[in-house]
Amino acid sequence: MSGRFLSIGECMVELSQAGAGLLRKGFAGDTLNTAWYARACLPAKWSVDYFTAVGDDAMSDEMLAFFEEAGIGTGLIRRIKGKAPGLYMISLKNGERSFSYWRESAAARQLAADPDILRQAIESADVIYFSGITLAILSHNDADTLLSEARRAKASGKLVAFDPNIRPRLWSGYDEMHATISEGARAASLVLPSFEDEALHFGDASIDATIQRYRALGVRDIVVKNGADGITLNFGGTETFVASEKVETVVDTTSAGDSFNGAFLAHYLERPDAPAAARFAAKVAARVVSEHGALVAKGKLGV
Ligand code: ADP
């Protein structure tokens, strides 16, 4: 098979400590990370595009050049006059990382503000991926626009994949977060939650409870990630467990779930064998947690 994989969301400028008071600049964001790993794992006959909104400043130009360099298409991305990308900084204190964000006025918050452009982008794609973070950064109206386009794509038979990626601090309250994330899942044909987040924020007592909750929302296929403790798949009611890979030394778990999703989807699109895709994705994610940073180069992934 071939086609276009479209990931929708926010990429930010990342500033990390480079020693001696210096900061290193990078680009990252959950849906961009997934596009990166999908690109690394899919054959060239597939195109991988990112859909977001950026500004018209130099940093936005650099961000788009970075995507292009990685083989991620930018042709669908909105440009918004007078805006700039969001930014976050990673601070290190006694080996513990903490994050500061400047993203409230980021261009990406307007990615769904023009329904026609969003519809064209989604119609041009064969596979659509978005997350709870994508929904969290949008206004109510714009989240509704994105959800209705995702539902339309699902109804037309496209694979619509959703990672709830629950981040309470991005939401104004728990009720809104629960309701909108549930709507995101309802609009998807495949959901890829992380059990730790689901247990903490939805109160799921077991992986089975997570699966039942998403199935009740009309999701056909579910992949529950559970860190080192393996992956539980429920595809159309058939359940399989896949063990995680053994990792000698976990260096940095940033983007473990995002890389798993990109690798899983890439494998699954080429060969619709969900357990095989999960085994492949577990290998890729194991390499990612063994390296520093969200975006590990293709050469280090063993793909
Ligand atoms: P998230 O990053 O979204 O919280 P998880 O922590 O569940 O998601 O990790 C996603 C995937 O990354 C897991 O399904 C597993 O394949 C892999 N992974 C994460 N942590 C480890 C680990 N310590 N050892 C081996 N694999 C891991």
Q: Check which CATH number belongs to the domain holding 45 and give it.
A: 3.40.1190.20
13 φ, ψ (degrees, to nearest 5): -80, 135
- The two tokens of residue 267 are 């494998």
Q: Is residue 103 part of a domain?
A: no
Whether 135 and 146 have beta carbons less than 8 Å apart is answered as yes
Q: Smallest Cα–Cα separation from 98: which of 169, 196, 35, 192?
A: 169
Residue nearest to atom 15 of ligand 1 (CA): 227
**Structural domain total, the chain:** 1
HSE at residue 262, side-chain half, CA atoms within 13 A, is: 35
236 φ, ψ (degrees, to nearest 5): 55, 30
Q: Is residue 58 part of a domain?
A: yes
Residue nearest to atom 5 of ligand 1 (CA): 227
Q: Smallest Cα–Cα separation from 223: which of 208, 205, 235, 209?
A: 235
Q: Is residue 211 part of a domain?
A: yes
Which candidate in 30, 49, 221, 258 is catalytic?
A: 258
Kindly calculate the radius of gyration of the chain based on its CA atoms and give it in whole angstroms: 18
Q: Which atom of ligand 1 is nearest to the CA of 245?
A: 25
Cα-based distances in Å from 83 to 1, 61, 88, 178: 38, 12, 16, 30
The residue whose CB lies within 8 Å of the most ligand 1 atoms, and thus the one to mutate among 37, 210, 244, 246, is 244
The residue whose CB lies within 8 Å of the most ligand 1 atoms, and thus the one to mutate among 258, 260, 280, is 260
b/e per residue 50-75 (b: at least 16 CB within 10 A): bbbbbbeeeebeebbebbeebebbbe
Q: Is residue 23 part of a domain?
A: no
Q: Can you give the residue range of the structural domain that contains 229? A: 3-10+29-85+108-300
Q: Is the CB of 286 under 6 A from ligand 1?
A: yes
b/e per residue 153-172 (b: at least 16 CB within 10 A): bbeeebbbbbbbbbbeeebe
Low-confidence residues in the chain, pLDDT < 70: none
Q: Is residue 101 part of a domain?
A: no
Please measure the distance between the N-terminal and C-terminal CA atoms of the chain and give it in whole angstroms.
18
Q: Is residue 172 part of a domain?
A: yes
User: How far away, in angstroms, is 38 Cα from ligand 1 center?
Assistant: 17
Q: What is the pLDDT of residue 220?
A: 97
Residue nearest to atom 1 of ligand 1 (CA): 257
Whether 35 and 259 have beta carbons less than 8 Å apart is answered as no
Cα-based distances in Å from 63 to 28, 73, 79, 102: 10, 12, 12, 16
Whether 49 is catalytic:
no
Q: What is the pLDDT of residue 96?
A: 78
* CA 192 – CA 161 distance, rounded (Å): 7
The residue whose CB lies within 8 Å of the most ligand 1 atoms, and thus the one to mutate among 129, 133, 162, 194, is 194
- The two tokens of residue 63 are 């961000």
Q: Is residue 92 part of a domain?
A: no
